[in-house]
Structure formats: structure tokens, C-alpha cells
Amino acid sequence: MGQIKLLDQNMINMIAAGEVIERPASVVKELVENSIDAGATKITVTVEDGGRKLISITDNGCGMDADDLARAFEPHTTSKIKISSDLLGISTLGFRGEALASIASIAQIRAVSRTKDSTGANCIEIDCGTRTGVSPCSADYGTTVQVRDIFYKLPARRKFLKTANTEMGHITEQFTRIALANENMDLTLIRNGKELYRLSDKDDLRRRITELFPIPSSDISESLIEAGSSEKGLHVQALMGKPLISRTNNRFQYVFLNGRFIRDKFISHAIKEAYRGLLEPGRFPVVFLFIQMRFEDYDVNVHPTKIEVRFYNANLVHSQILGALREKLLGTDLETPGKLPEMQYAESTSRRSPAVRDHRIADAMAEFFRKHRPAQTQQQLGFRPSAPGIVHAVPHEKSAQYDRKFLQIHDSFIVAQTEDGFVIIDQHALHERIIYEDLCRRIRKSKLQSQRLLIPESFEVTVSGAEALKANTELTDKLGIELVPFGPRTMAVQAFPTLLSSVQPLDFIQDLIDLLDRKDAGLDAERLLDEVLNMAACKAAIKAGQKLTDSEIEQLLADRQNAESASRCPHGRPTTITFSISDLEKQFKRT
């Protein structure tokens, strides 16, 4: 007898669910997309236990009558396409007719729906494919779909779910994508009974971005430049982050095609090229890109979750995006004006009482004038006197090797005479190396010394950011950073490493969160610590463009003698270029 059998329908649905429903966040995505396709203007997402216990979506869309409600959860049922040619120009987010059937095969569902013109609502319940009939009930117009205990009959898949916090992070990310693409929608996300986001349909995009991306040290939207172009049926609109707010990963690049979040390698490449030469290696720009084009000009039917599309004219898409972004970036003054960090902090923390704010501004002003006195002392430029017990400065005869013959050029490089020629030193790269080695030495012995902040600095974090910090308390502790939670999305820094006193704590913590987020991508503890120390050194080091006094230059040259590997910065770039007298003589044809 033959071995091949036709699978029963529930098996088919479960297999399909494997493609579409990876985790609770996929359920949120599919259900919210259905609400948007149903014309909703107000959507509420409620989640319990990271979506493992409950995901509930309520919308004010067109609703379904009793027949449609029964049919919606059957496989391959959709109202969005009718004939094969519809596939050539899909204007809705969904069209495959498999999401509801898939979800209903792997969880307990209760759906209630009512159309605008009907007097009553209807309800259906389904438990992993086993359904009740549709029965009348009372409800407002629109649709609510509740999904409970996802994968509860599939222990193998349930086991793969991560902690509630991690799953919540994925859900927040899906919510963020939807919120960016639909600025004129009222959207709420509730976690375990508490409101995490309430975004009003009156928001403009910048306001929405500020709410979705709380950046510890500033208001992100102030650092966004607008670009746009419209040609050959392709409309591009972008908010581009200035290089100043670049990140350590590309998670802050959001690309939308006719309201659908997509990932596309041509577009990523165009973005990268647009910023060529404007960012340091390893940094990624923050970009929000919105593309509108004819539905017939691309195919979304290439990926089950529709995150990838196929452009019929990918070159046009690439060149137009690159052109629009690059032109705008090159035409914009990207110099960062010397901002007073303390002052900016006081402004952005508008919840603080005005009296406290004034006080902080006064303090910031005093600090500014102290820092910008004509004669700068060592410490103000980030050179700290060595901590007791650590030999940092070098015996005098070593620095005397330079014989006081040095010169700072363009406030960025130091040219110094050596015994047999001269060196050109990149002041930032060298100082970075010196601090990096110092940090490594100290952290090997024990944790970094820290000092309490006079006023703890509070900041808002994303769900995944808070989670990342929580999971890495051992690391922050080693660094001497003390963080305390203040509320569901607020934390405060109470203590910060003494060695990094020239660094803005909130600025540092933002980059730390980015790094820790990346840890999921396979960075082991040692590499992670190294990356953190790298970043710390880079931030604490004197910058290019900073004028140094003679004694500061002397100190730098002396420390150079002491460093283990002074010729390369921690990123591997050279700190020093050496020239010998004999080379010069050859060049000038003296020999």
C-alpha cells in the first residue's frame, strides 16, 4: 500500500503557521495589518506576559458579519484578492489569506466583530483548530481578536519562545514599525495592564519619532534632516539622522514601501553610500525612509511575511534614493555647534520644576565659562592626573627625547622631532589608545572606580534597552556605573566611572545600550567588554580640533612612551606616522 497520504487541514495550517507565525510579535503584526486593511483609524494592542499569555487587538475598522467571521479563520480565505491579475498590483498589507487560519491552529482564539451598519456583534471561539459556531453577542463596531496561550499544544515551539521581556521587545519593534508607517492613526500598546505607548493621530512624524525613540541625551527629532524627491512615479521622503546621532548597528534604519516595512539590500546600500565619508567606520546612520510607488512596479509575493519585495526596476530605486539623500546631506551644514550638554539636559527634562531648571542652566553657564578660559589646564581637556598608585606620567628624560621640538597643527595633529627624524601624531587616536590601555589595566584588577553624580541623571529607555541593561548588570557594575529603575521606561544614573568624567553619562549609556543589544548577535562577554572599553576610550579621548597647551602635548608624548602599543588606536588605525631624516634627505636630493 502506498505511503503517501494527504495531510489533514489542521496539519496544513500548522505547517503554514510555521512560516508566518514565528513568535508572539508575528501575531501582533498580522492582526494589526488586518485592522489597517479594514480601514481602522484607532487600534489598541494589549499584551500579557510578552504575548505568551495574551495578545488582544481591538480596532474600529469595517468589521465582519457573521458569515465572514466564520470564513475568515478558514485557510486560504481573503477579501483582498479575487482574480489572479489582482496579484500584480497589491494595495493591501495582507492578501495571502493564511494569517488567521494559521493563528487559529496554534492558539486559543476569541474574535468578536460588528460591521458599522449592523445592530449587533458576533463572536467565534477556536481552540487550536477546533471551532464553535458563530454566536451573537454585544460589542461596539469594529473587531477584537484575542489570542491566548500561543503554541500551548506545541511544546517544541513553545520552548523556543524567549523571556517575556525579549518577546515584548519584538512586539514593541513591530508596533514601532506600524506606528511610523501610520502617523495619522491612534495607536496604543498596553503591557500587563500598563500603557506603554499612546500615540495620537494628531502627531506629526517628528513627534512620533521622539516618542518612539527616547534617546537619553537629547531629542532625536532635532537631529533629523528632511529630504525628498519625486520622479518617474517614485516618491521618496526621508528623515535622515545627522552623523552626530549615528549608531553602532543598522537597526535604526526604517524603510517603508507604500506603508509596508521592508528590508531591501539595494536600499540599504543606497543609504550607506549616501553617508559615505560622513561617518566613521562601524557607525550606521539613523534613517526613516518612506517610498511611494505604483503597486504594479514591484512584487510583494516573494516572502511569507512580505518583508522582502522584488522591484522591477531596482536600479531606478537605488539611484533615486541615493541621489536624494546624498544631495541633501552634502548640501547641509553638518557641523555640530558646540552645545552645552548640561543645558540641553535641563531643557529636555521639562518635567523638572522651572526653579531647578534655571539653577541647572546657571550651573551650565558657569561650567562653560570655566571650561573656556583662555588658559586651559590639563584636566579640562580630559587629561586626568594619575590615580594614586598608578604610574602614568613618565620620567622626564623620556619626554625630553622630543627636546621640546613639537608643534600642534590644525588643532588635530602633533608634529614632533625625534632622534632620527620626526613623527606626525593623530592626537585623538593616540589619546584613545592610552586611555584604552589604562582602562584595560584597571578593569583587569578590579572594577573601575566611580563617583556619585550630584544629581542623578534620569533618562527614558526602550523596552529592549531596559532589558539589555538589566541582563548586563555585572558588566555595568564592573564599569562602575550605577543605574536605578525609576518607572517602566525611565532609569537614572547615580554613579559613573571617575576615569570617564569628561564623558556625558547619558551619551555613553545610549551607545552602551546599542552595544548590548547587539550582544544577542553573538558577542561573547570578553569581546563585549573590549568593545565597551573601546567606546569609552573613544569618548573620553581628546578630539581632533581641540587646541592643546604645551604641557598637555608633553604629557601626551610622555604617555606615548609608556603605552604598550602606541602606534595603533584600539580600532587598528595608526596613531603615528614616522619620517626619518634619511628619507627627507633623499627626497630633497641631498644624498
Contacts with ligand ADP by CB under 6 A lie at: 30, 34-35, 38, 59, 61-64, 72, 77-80, 94-101, 143
Per-residue DSSP letter, 252: G
Q: Which is nearer to ligand ADP, 85 or 353 (CB)?
A: 85
| Interface residue with Mg ion, options 72, 99, 425, 439 (CB under 5 A) | 99
Fill in the amino acid letter for 35: S
C-alpha 518, offset from chain centre: 10
Q: Which residues partner with 333 through β-bridges?
A: none
Residue 30 CB, nearest approach to ligand ADP (Å): 6
Residue 94 binds Mg ion (CB under 5 A): yes
Residue 161 CB, nearest approach to ligand ADP (Å): 22
Instruction: Give alpha helix (H) positions in 50-107.
Output: 66-72, 99-106
Residue 460 binds which entry of ligand ADP, Mg ion, none, with Cβ cut-offs from 5 to 8 Å by kind? Answer: none
Residue 34 binds Mg ion (CB under 5 A): yes
Q: Can you state the angle between helices 427-445 and 525-540, rounded to 10 degrees? A: 130
Residue 96 binds which entry of Mg ion, ligand ADP, none, with Cβ cut-offs from 5 to 8 Å by kind? Answer: ligand ADP
Residue 124 CB, nearest approach to ligand ADP (Å): 12
Phi then psi for residue 246, to 5 deg, are: -65, 160
Residue 143 binds which entry of ligand ADP, Mg ion, none, with Cβ cut-offs from 5 to 8 Å by kind? Answer: ligand ADP
Residue 61 binds Mg ion (CB under 5 A): no
Q: Which is nearer to ligand ADP, 113 or 246 (CB)?
A: 113
Residue whose C-alpha is closest to residue 211's, from 240, 179, 237, 181: 179
Residue of minimal Cβ distance to Mg ion: 94
Residue whose C-alpha is closest to residue 329's, from 386, 285, 268, 378: 285
Q: Which residues partner with 230 through β-bridges?
A: 235
Residue whose C-alpha is closest to residue 172's, from 521, 460, 462, 518: 462
Residue 33 CB, nearest approach to Mg ion (Å): 6
Residue 26 binds Mg ion (CB under 5 A): no
Phi then psi for residue 147, to 5 deg, are: -125, 115
Q: Which is nearer to ligand ADP, 108 or 166 (CB)?
A: 108
Residue 31 CB, nearest approach to Mg ion (Å): 8
Residue of minimal Cβ distance to ligand ADP: 94
Residue 98 CB, nearest approach to Mg ion (Å): 8
Residue 64 binds which entry of Mg ion, ligand ADP, none, with Cβ cut-offs from 5 to 8 Å by kind? Answer: ligand ADP
CB count within 10 Å of CB 102 equals 26
d(CA 363, CA 371): 12
Residue 102 binds Mg ion (CB under 5 A): no
Residue 510 CB, nearest approach to Mg ion (Å): 36
Residue 46 binds which entry of ligand ADP, Mg ion, none, with Cβ cut-offs from 5 to 8 Å by kind? Answer: none
Residue burial 341-354, b: 16+ Cβ < 10 Å; e: rest: bbbbbbebeeebee
d(CA 246, CA 449): 29
Positions in the binding site for Mg ion (CB under 5 A): 34, 94, 99
